[in-house]
Amino acid sequence: MPISVKCSKCGKVLKVKSELAGKRGKCPSCGAVIEVPSARSADAVTAGPSIPADPDGAAGQSGPSREARGRATPGSDTRRETARRPTSRRKLAVDLPLRKLGCLLGVLVAVWGIWHFGVTPFGERFRIEQVFERAFAGDLDNSLERLEAMREDISGASRDLLELRIAQVEVMGAAVEAMVQVLRAAGDRDSFVDPLDLEVLVWRAVAPDASAGPPVRLTGLKIDREDPVWFYTLAVENATERPLALRKNHFFRCQVTVETDSESGVLLQRLANVAAVANVKGNTLDGVEVPPGGRAEGVIPFFVTKPLAGPPMRDASGRRENVETMNVSAIVFSDGKTCAAVRDTTF
C-alpha cells in the first residue's frame, strides 16, 4: 500500500511504495532529503504523485519523466533565489567600491608617472633650449642671465642639461670677445700671425686662474664647402686625465663682424652669430670618445651664413667712408667641463 510523505522543506505531498518504508530519498521538487516513515507511523495526507524507486535507494517520482525531474517548481526556485540573493548583493556592494578605488589609484599613479618622468622633464628641457637658442642670434648676455635664473626651479632630471648650456654660453661669449680683440689688434683679416691666439684668449677668459694651457686643442685640417653646408675636418687632442666624449651638441660655429673707424680704431658696431651643428649626414665626430692623451679626427658639418650686416654705421665725424668692416669665425668646443676654439682661417 502506498505511503504518503510530506516534504518538510517545500511542503510537497508524495506517495511512495510501501517497500521503501524506513529509507531516504530526494524530493523531486526541491531536492531535499526525505525520510520515508514506516507504514504504521505515516500520517494521513492528501494523495499526491508517487516517488519512483531510485537506483541509489532514493525515493523517486513515478509520474513525471526524467527531464521533468531536473526542472524545479516556480515556488522552489523563488525560495532558493531569495536565499542566495542577499549574499550576492552584499558581495557586489563591497566589490564595486574596491574596484573603483583601485582604478582611481591606478589612474593617479599613471598621471603622476607621466608628469614626473615625462611632461615635467620634457617641459624643462624645452624651456632650457628655448632660452639657449637666443645665443644663436648673438644675444649671449641675455641668454646667460636667463639660464642662470632657471637654476632655482629646474629639477635634477634637467640639471645637467642646464649646467651644460650655461657653460657653453659662457664659452661662446668668451670666444666672441676674443675674436673682437683679435680683429681689433690685427686691423686686417689677413694679418693674423699666431693661429693659437684665439684659443689662448678663450681659455684664459673661461679659466683665468689656470696655469697650464687649454687641456683640449682643436686643429683645423680641411674645409669642404658644399653651400650652404660646410664640412670642417678637425683634430681633437685630449690632454685631460679623463676620457673625452664628443657629442654634436658640444660644437658650435661663432661668427663675428666688427665695424671700426679706420683712422682712430674706435669700435662702431659689433655683431655676433652662433650656429649649431647641422643635422645632416657626414658627422663623424659625434659619439667618438678620445682617451686621455689621445687624438681623434673627424668631420663636423655647419650651415654657414654670409657675413653679418647691421645698419650702416658712421664715424664720429658722420662720414661713412672711414668705416672698416671685418669678419672672423671660429669653431668652438665645450662639453661643460672644458673648452677649445680654433679659427676657421687656419684650416
Whether pLDDT at 62 is above 50: no
CB 238 within 8 A of CB 217: no
Q: What does the pLDDT look like over 109-136, one tens digit per residue?
A: 776 555 544 446 778 888 898 899 888 8
pLDDT-derived band of residue 3, with 50, 70 and 90 as boundaries?
confident
CB 333 within 8 A of CB 184: no
How far apart (Å, rounded) are the C-alpha atoms in residues 117 and 112?
8
- pTM reported for the whole predicted model: 0.60
- Find which of 104-108, 302-306, 321-325, 332-336 is predicted with most confidence, using mean pLDDT: 332-336
pLDDT-derived band of residue 321, with 50, 70 and 90 as boundaries?
low
| Torsion on CA atoms 183, 222, 309, 254, rounded to nearest 10 | -70
Q: What does the pLDDT look like over 220-252, one tens digit per residue?
A: 999 998 888 999 999 999 998 999 999 999 999
How far apart (Å, rounded) are the C-alpha atoms in residues 133 and 143?
8
Q: What does the pLDDT look like over 69-95, one tens digit per residue?
A: 445 455 555 555 544 555 555 555 656
pLDDT-derived band of residue 165, with 50, 70 and 90 as boundaries?
very high
